[in-house]
Amino acid sequence: MVMPTFHDSLIVHTQGHDYPIVITEQSTTEHSSMAKQVAPYISGRQVLIVTNDTVAPLYLAALEDELAEQFTVKVCVLPDGEQYKNQASIDQIYDALMTEHFNRDVTLIALGGGVIGDMTGFAAASFMRGVNFIQIPTTLLSQVDSSVGGKTGINHPQGKNMIGAFWQPQMVLADMSTLKTLPARELSAGVAEIIKYALIMDESFLTWLEANLPAMMALDLAVLGEAVKRCCQYKADVVAQDERESGVRALLNFGHTFGHVIETHEGYGNWLHGEAVAAGMLQAAELSQKIGWLTDDEVVRIKRVLELANLPVIPPAIDVETALDLMGHDKKVKYGQIRLILLKSIGDAVLTNEFDDQLLNEVLSKHSA
C-alpha cells in the first residue's frame, strides 16, 4: 500500500450533529478510494452525485462505479462556473432527484469546488425539507473554506449568495491529490482564503505562510495539507461558537464585502472568488490603515503576501456610487448601515460600522471608474 504524503482529520461540532473532515492524499491508492471513505456516511441506499463538466472526466467514473456496488447511484452533471450558481442549476438537481423517485433516504454527494458544494448543499437542505449530503471538495478554496460549516446557497443577479440555507454535511473528504489537476489560477484563489485566516486570526500563521508559500504554489501536498488542516480547524472552532453567523463567524468574511462588489459588478465567474477576496482584503486593510489601526508596513506586508500567491491586489474600476449600492445588498448590513470586517492589527479582526464614510469613499475611489 502506498503511504499518503498527508493524512489527518478533525471534527466539526454543530448543534445538529458532529461530523469529520478527513484531509488526505490517500484516495489515490487502490486501498482507500474516495468511495470507501465516504460510504460509511451514506444513509439509505440512494445516492445522487452532483458534479460539473470539468471535474466529471477526472474523478466521477471511479466514484460512481465503486458506490454502485452498494447503492443506487445517479449523477447530475452541471456546467462549470460561478455564472451557473443559480436557480436553474438547482432545478436540474431537483429534476434528477424527482426523475429517479428519490426520497428522504437519499444522500447527495458534492464532487467539485465551492460552486458545486454550495448548490448541492442548498438542494439537500431544501429537497423534501432536508436530506443528507457529503462534501468532496476538489479545489483548494473549497477545501479550506466553503465545504466546512454548512453555508449553502446560490447567487442572485443583484447579489452573491443571497439565497441559501445553513445545512451541515455528514462528512467532508478533502483529497489533496485533486489539487494536482487544479489550474494555477484556481490554486492561487484558494490561497487567498488561507491568507484570510492568518490575517483575521493568527499572525504566526501568516509568518508560516510567508515561509511556506513557495512550496504551496509548487504543489507540495504535505505543506498544502498542513495549511488545509489549520484553516479547517480555525473554521471548525468558529462554527462551533456561531453556527448561523450571528456573531464571530461573520469575521470569516474579511475582504468579502469588497470582493462581492467586484464579483457582482464584473459578472460572476470573470473574477474568481478568491481573486476578488484578495483585492477586497487589501481594500479592507487600506481602510483599517486610514482609521489608524494598521500601520503602513502592515499593509505593505499584506500586499506582499498576496502578490507572493500570484493574486490580484488592484480591483477593477468601479465608481463609488455603484460600489456603495452593491455593498448595500451585503448580508452584514444592519439597520441600513454597512458593516465591514476590518483589522485592528494582523490577527485581530472586528465587525464594525464605526468608520468614517469619507474614508470608505477614499478607499473605493482609489480605483474608481
**CB 254 within 8 Å of CB 349:** yes
CA distance 349 to 284: 11
- The yes-or-no answer on residue 273 being catalytic is yes
**CB 18 within 8 Å of CB 12:** yes
**CB 232 within 8 Å of CB 197:** no
- The yes-or-no answer on residue 253 being catalytic is yes
- The yes-or-no answer on residue 180 being catalytic is no
Q: Which three cell numbers stand for residue 186?
A: 484556481
Catalytic residue (choose from 186, 243, 245, 298)? 245
Torsion angle of C-alpha atoms 275, 212, 346, 290, degrees rounded to 10? -50
CA distance 369 to 357: 19
- The yes-or-no answer on residue 256 being catalytic is yes
Compute how many other C-beta atoms are within 10 angstroms of the C-beta atom of residue 35: 22
- The yes-or-no answer on residue 155 being catalytic is no
Catalytic residue (choose from 74, 230, 260, 290)? 260
- The yes-or-no answer on residue 332 being catalytic is no
Catalytic residue (choose from 74, 196, 229, 235)? 235
Catalytic residue (choose from 155, 253, 263, 301)? 253
The number of angstroms, rounded, from the C-alpha of 2 to the middle of its chain's C-alpha atoms is: 30
Catalytic residue (choose from 273, 301, 303, 339)? 273
Q: Which three cell numbers stand for residue 246?
A: 450571528
- The yes-or-no answer on residue 235 being catalytic is yes
Catalytic residue (choose from 85, 196, 256, 290)? 256
- The yes-or-no answer on residue 301 being catalytic is no
- The yes-or-no answer on residue 331 being catalytic is no
Q: Which three cell numbers stand for residue 245?
A: 453567523
Distances (CA, A) of 13 to 19, 170, 242: 7, 11, 11
Compute how many other C-beta atoms are within 10 angstroms of the C-beta atom of residue 80: 18
Catalytic residue (choose from 160, 249, 265, 301)? 249
- The yes-or-no answer on residue 151 being catalytic is yes
Q: Which residues are catalytic?
A: 129, 151, 193, 235, 245, 249, 253, 256, 260, 273
